[in-house]
């Protein structure tokens, strides 16, 4: 083709050398126009037809090939093939043209690989196993490796050397690569350990005070783990920090279907006393206490009679206390509460008394792990306890306020 163009130009009275240069320019212009036309046809017609077919079929994952631009990037190979086909017509410039085409195809190939890996990650994320075995970090390692290899191939092509020669020299640069990609290497090792040991998954609620992280894991990548805190801020944690430092994962709580309630009510020690007969008769009206009080009164009366102890005059006699009956009431109340998990520990205990009175601690598990439901259950329990406590002639301890010193 070049010879035909050159002969036509020479016939116009132009010298051979100039005609040859002009013929190469005209050929390049013709090939450029041809590539633009073919590229337009491929992108506007062929790719649209393929995309339409992909969206209409029943397969879902192939839609991601279109969304991530895999086919669009792959279409850039067509112009390169055309240029490669005509490269021999450029005479002394053929080597430069082929080298340029090779570099272009290498760049297109690595971009296609990048889009394919993104597609693989999106397809994998649709599977349930992706929450416990994320592969984004591994795919990022493959991306880095592909870009490095592509760079080596391009440099070797420009230098006219074999890529194997360039690869052999990487061994001497290991220390430099280790320094430059230190975080990536640490992240890769951490990612493998996190995945192998199932330490953290996407969706897990984790706490890491060192990084002010308290929320759900939304992304696990090669170098970082992103946590969306409950105030909707995002905390980014280095992946290797989850291996080297301590953090709390609440996954066990969610998987158990129960969430712990551990809170105390402080009782004014001055209100603790033996139960009077009138108080016991009043408390017997409660279905939660009737059986207990009657049974305990029988036991206590037998004990005192056997030892000839008069409860009204002897401090050695056994008697029911309002704080003891109150503890039993709470225990029975929690057993019949619909929000308490029946198969987990239920404990109402006294903690050591201090300057704030005698703490009565409730240690149970709710059958709801959702934050809102959990707080509602916990509030409902303590609303009831604080409301009923005066029925036992007990007082909740609180520091004196101005009203307590009002003399009027």
Give the pLDDT mean for 160-170.
Answer: 65
Most confident of 166-175, 199-208, 362-371: 362-371
* CA 387 to each of CA 263, 336, 382: distance values in angstroms, whole numbers, following the listed order: 16, 18, 8
Say which residue, 9 or 398, is predicted with more confidence.
Answer: 398
pLDDT reading at 14 higher than 50: yes
C-alpha closest to that of 143 among 110, 182, 176? 110
User: What is residue 355's predicted lDDT score, i.e. its pLDDT?
Assistant: 87
User: What is residue 146's predicted lDDT score, i.e. its pLDDT?
Assistant: 84
The pLDDT > 70 percentage for the chain reads 80
Structure tokens at 228: 């969306």
User: What is residue 6's predicted lDDT score, i.e. its pLDDT?
Assistant: 47
Q: Please name the helix (run of DSSP H) or strand (run of DSSP E) that holds residue 265, with its range, or none.
A: strand 259-267
Enumerate long-range contacts of 385-393, CB under 8 Å, 24 or more apart.
385/265, 385/330, 385/333, 386/265, 388/329, 389/265, 389/267, 389/326, 391/282, 391/283, 392/279, 392/283, 392/322, 392/323, 392/325, 392/326, 392/329, 393/271, 393/273, 393/279, 393/322
When the pLDDT of each residue in the chain is averaged and rounded to a whole number, the result is: 81
Say which residue, 345 or 255, is predicted with more confidence.
Answer: 345
**Alpha carbon distance 353, 355 (integer Å):** 7
pLDDT reading at 181 higher than 60: yes
DSSP code per residue over 336-378: T-TTB-TTS--EEEEPPPBTTBEEEEEEEEES--SHHHHHHHH
User: What is residue 334's predicted lDDT score, i.e. its pLDDT?
Assistant: 95
**Weakest-pLDDT range from 32-41, 48-57, 166-175:** 166-175
Give the pLDDT mean for 186-203.
Answer: 75
Q: What are the boundaries of each domain within the chain?
A: 2-183, 198-255, 259-399
Structure tokens at 66: 């279109």
**Alpha carbon distance 281, 290 (integer Å):** 9
Structure tokens at 392: 């036992």
Q: DSSP secondary-structure letter at 396? A: B
User: What is residue 100's predicted lDDT score, i.e. its pLDDT?
Assistant: 82
CB-based contacts of 260, cutoff 8 Å, min separation 6: 253, 363, 364, 365, 366
C-alpha closest to that of 189 among 235, 247, 138, 249? 138
Q: Are 284 and 297 in contact (CB under 8 A)?
A: no
Say which residue, 159 or 331, is predicted with more confidence.
Answer: 331
Confidence band of 404 (pLDDT split at 50, 70, 90) = low
pLDDT tens-digit profile of 269-304? 999 999 988 999 999 999 999 999 999 999 988 888
pLDDT reading at 164 higher than 50: yes
Confidence band of 78 (pLDDT split at 50, 70, 90) = confident
pLDDT reading at 337 higher than 60: yes
CATH architecture of 198-255: Roll (2.30)
């Amino acid at each position: 083709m070049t010879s035909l163009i050159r002969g036509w130009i020479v016939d116009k009275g132009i010298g051979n050398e100039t005609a040859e240069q002009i013929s190469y320019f005209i050929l390049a212009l013709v090939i450029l126009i041809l590539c633009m036309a073919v590229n337009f046809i491929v992108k506007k017609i062929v790719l649209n037809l393929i995309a339409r077919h992909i969206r209409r079929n029943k397969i879902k994952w192939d839609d991601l090939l279109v969304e991530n631009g895999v086919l669009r990037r792959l279409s850039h190979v067509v112009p390169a093939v055309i240029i490669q086909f005509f490269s021999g017509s450029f005479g002394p410039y053929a080597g430069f043209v082929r080298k340029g085409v090779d570099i272009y195809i290498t760049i297109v190939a690595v971009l296609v690989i990048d889009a394919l890996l993104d597609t693989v990650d999106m397809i994998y994320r649709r599977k349930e196993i992706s929450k416990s075995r994320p592969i984004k970090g591994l795919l990022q390692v493959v991306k880095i490796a592909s870009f490095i290899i592509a760079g080596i191939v391009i440099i070797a092509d420009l230098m006219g050397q074999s890529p194997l020669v360039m690869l052999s020299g990487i061994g001497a640069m290991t220390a430099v690569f280790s320094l430059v990609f230190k975080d990536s290497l640490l992240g890769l090792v951490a990612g493998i350990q996190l995945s192998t040991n199932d330490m953290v998954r996407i969706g897990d609620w984790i706490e890491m005070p060192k990084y002010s992280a308290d929320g759900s894991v939304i992304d696990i990548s090669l170098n970082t783990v992103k946590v969306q805190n409950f105030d909707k801020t995002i905390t980014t944690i280095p992946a290797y920090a989850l291996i080297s430092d301590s953090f709390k994962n609440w996954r066990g709580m969610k998987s158990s279907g129960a969430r712990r309630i551990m809170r105390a009510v402080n009782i004014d020690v001055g209100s603790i006393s033996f139960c009077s007969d009138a108080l016991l008769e009043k408390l017997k009206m409660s279905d939660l206490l009737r059986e207990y009080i009657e049974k305990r009164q029988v036991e206590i009366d037998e004990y005192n009679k056997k030892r000839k102890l008069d409860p009204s005059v002897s401090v050695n006699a056994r008697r029911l206390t309002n704080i003891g009956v109150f503890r039993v009431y709470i225990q029975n109340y929690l057993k019949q509460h619909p929000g308490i998990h029946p198969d987990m520990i239920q404990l109402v205990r006294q903690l050591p008394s201090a300057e704030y009175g005698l703490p009565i601690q409730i240690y149970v598990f709710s059958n709801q792990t959702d934050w809102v439901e959990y707080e509602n259950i916990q509030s409902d329990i303590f609303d009831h306890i604080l409301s009923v406590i005066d029925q036992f002639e007990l007082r909740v301890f609180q520091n004196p306020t101005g009203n307590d010193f009002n003399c009027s």
